[in-house]
Amino acid sequence: MHPFRTHTCGELRVEDADATVRLSGWVHRKRDHGGVIFIDLRDHYGLTQIVVNPDHKDFAQAEKVRNESVITITGKVLKRDDAAINPDMPTGAIEIHADEVLIENMAEILPFTVNQELECPEDTRLNYRFLDLRRERMQKNIMLRSQVASLMRKHMTERGFHEFNTPILTSSSPEGARDYLVCSRLYPGQFYALPQAPQQFKQLLMVSGFDKYFQIAPCFRDEDSRADRSPGEFYQLDIEMSYITQEDLFQEIEPLMVRLFTELSNKKIKEDPFPRIPFLEGMEKYGSDKPDLRFDMEMVDMTEAFANCELKVFASASEEGNALKVLVAKGAAEKSRKFFDDAEKFAKSEGAHGLAWIKNDGGELKGPIVKFLNDAEKEALNTVAGLEEGDAIFFGVGNRAVTNTLMGKVRCYLAEQLDIIDPDLMAFCWIVDFPMFEWDEDNKKVEFSHNPFSMPQGGLEALETMDPLDILAYQYDIVCNGVELSSGAIRNHRPDIMLKAFDIAGYDQKVVEDKFPALWKAFHYGAPPHGGIAPGLDRIVMLLADEPNIREIISFPMNQKAQDLLMNAPNDPLDGHLEELHLEVNYPDEDEI
């Protein structure tokens, strides 16, 4: 017999009755019923109930064992009495009467319970992550992550993509976030950088003649933590293709997303194919370039209808650069005054001066500002905004961009309060037609708005003849339920277009050659049209698992302060490291920390 197990703890059934078996695992739960000890033994595969009778030679062993201790049990499989069958356990029709109990490793007193999902401080969980990962929810999350990665690889291979690895030690490049630097022992004073993304390498693979590339790639960025962003490192499904249009790429990614969310969950896809929403339309309708489309509440522009309103603040919307935007909340007229007051408090917390509202209560318009509206303006609420009996309408006014963003947040707040968001619905969309450039007010100059490596729509002619702020790029984001899963682009593959685009943003040829030497060189030797994208693995698993925090789907995450509490990182270098690297630390003053 195998020294540790003949079966797993999730394997035995009634058909195995009378067999002598051996199981090993963790003590999930122990109960003493009148001298008979019952142990729920757990391994990665499930639970099996063990029975140790009081006259058993190893009864004392079983009596002293603590939860989460590792034991090996040898015994006979017996069918449970009908009244004792546990239908909630796959092994609930049998139990093992122990002949031998061997303690492999006795657990100390636990810092938190493992066999229940009880609240526990996150730092404690991360300090004892190996215990935290034993909990059922965490086991499911990490296994789901593995399944996502496996299905990604399977799907991409079936679609004719090939997996290539790209370097981890590379050079620093301006990707928009801080690099992690790695000291060079052989070249004192010089540094490698961990890649923020394999962006340049995957483009170089296309220039090298490989047609379809993918990689589940680790990326490293020295960024602050957020609920949907882990500090330090993350993983993405990195993809690049040659000789494609934007639509070609969409048709590759959409089947993958549908497959992930239908095969690995019970989620429903709202629309397939995914809608394409131009960036400016997204900002005007939803106040966001990552809109949550699980509900239909769209902003309506009422600027013109209220241009002569008695309310001066509404009339001011007709001034250049301003707007009056409204949101119709279906069925909200029946809500209490507290509902409306709370909505205004939320808007103020996001920077608004207030949040005016009107409700259609039984066909009659009611609210603090109704008396200021004339008949034409009231009618416009019905004909333009779509206000119907039982609805409420909320008003935002001011600078158009600021008002759009603010009302976009109010939109999501109202949807949550009205409970109109289906948690099992996955509403994907593509955000397209991003501006190539934007105005940097602080530095009074034109700057890249998204990705400097993107192909401008209209190519070189657009760069030479159009107002830079009117130029659109072949850039796109894939969004699901208000979460951006990835940005991508059809790349610029021509050095003349690259030079002109950087020149508009204030960078001369020397900057291009110095900062992007590999791409600059490669584009002079026959670079094909190409494009790609890199959906975030972590965020996809978050959505599949319905987890609000990204640390819940990562095996060994850092905390919010970018510390690995389990491995005590970052920490001081070992003796001799700094000397070997010809470095010394210039510690900041206390008031600088």
Nearest to residue 194, comparing CAs of 160, 164, 221, 161?
A: 221
What is the bridge-based pairing of β-strands 162-163 and 356-361? unpaired
Residue by residue, pLDDT tens for the chain (593 residues) are: 999 999 999 999 999 999 999 999 999 999 988 789 999 999 999 999 999 999 888 898 899 999 999 999 999 999 999 999 999 999 999 999 999 999 999 999 999 999 999 999 999 999 999 999 999 999 999 999 999 999 999 999 999 999 999 999 999 876 567 899 999 999 999 999 999 999 999 999 999 999 999 999 999 999 888 778 888 899 999 999 999 999 999 999 999 999 999 999 999 999 999 999 999 999 999 999 999 999 999 999 999 999 999 999 999 999 999 999 999 999 999 999 999 999 999 999 999 999 999 999 999 999 999 999 999 999 999 999 999 999 999 999 999 999 999 999 999 999 999 999 999 999 999 999 999 999 988 888 999 988 888 999 999 999 999 999 999 999 999 999 999 999 999 999 999 999 999 999 999 999 999 889 999 999 999 999 999 999 999 999 999 999 999 999 999 999 999 999 999 999 988 888 898 998 988 888 877 65
Q: What SS3 state is found at 409?
A: helix
What is the end-to-end Cα distance of the chain in Å, rounded?
A: 60
Neighbouring CB atoms inside 10 A of 256's CB total: 18
Neighbouring CB atoms inside 10 A of 199's CB total: 22
**CA geometry: angle 422, 427, 433, nearest 5 deg:** 150
Cα 42 from Cα 26, distance rounded (Å): 5
Question: Is the bond leading into 570 cis (omega within 30 degrees of zero)?
Answer: yes
Could you report the per-residue pLDDT of 360-375, keeping only the tens digit for each?
999 999 999 999 999 9
Length of the chain: 593
Could you report the per-residue pLDDT of 273-295, keeping only the tens digit for each?
999 999 999 999 999 999 999 99
Superfamily of domain 295-421, CATH level 4: GAD-like domain (3.30.1360.30)
**pLDDT attached to residue 592:** 62
What is the bridge-based pairing of β-strands 364-366 and 445-448? unpaired
**pLDDT attached to residue 176:** 66
What is the bridge-based pairing of β-strands 212-221 and 232-242? antiparallel
- Residue 418: what residue type? L
One DSSP character per residue, 190-254 reads: -EEE--S-SHHHHHHHHHTT--EEEEEEEEEEB---BTTB-SEEEEEEEEEEES--HHHHHHHHH
Is 464 within 8 Å of 519 (Cβ atoms)?
Answer: no
Query: Which are the contacts of 454, defined by CB distance < 8 A and separation ≥ 6?
Result: 436, 473, 474, 475, 489, 490, 491, 492
Alpha-carbon torsion 211, 428, 198, 216, what sign?
negative
Is CATH 2.40.50.140 the classification given to domain 136-243+534-578?
no
CATH, domain range 14-105: 2.40.50.140
Token pair listed for 184:
């060079």
Query: Which are the contacts of 171, defined by CB distance < 8 A and separation ≥ 6?
Result: 192, 193
Can you give the residue ranges of every domain in the chain? Answer: 14-105, 136-243+534-578, 295-421
Question: Is the bond leading into 273 cis (omega within 30 degrees of zero)?
Answer: yes
What is the bridge-based pairing of β-strands 268-269 and 425-426? parallel
One DSSP character per residue, 571-593 reads: -PPPTTHHHHTT----PPPGGG-
Helices (H), 4-135: 59-64, 122-127, 129-132
Nearest to residue 93, comparing CAs of 28, 13, 19?
A: 13
Quick one: DSSP state of residue 449? S
Q: What share of the chain is helix, strand, coil (3-state, %, to 5)?
A: 30, 25, 40
- 295-421 matches 14-105 in CATH topology: no
Alpha carbons within 13 A on the beta-carbon side of 340 = 21
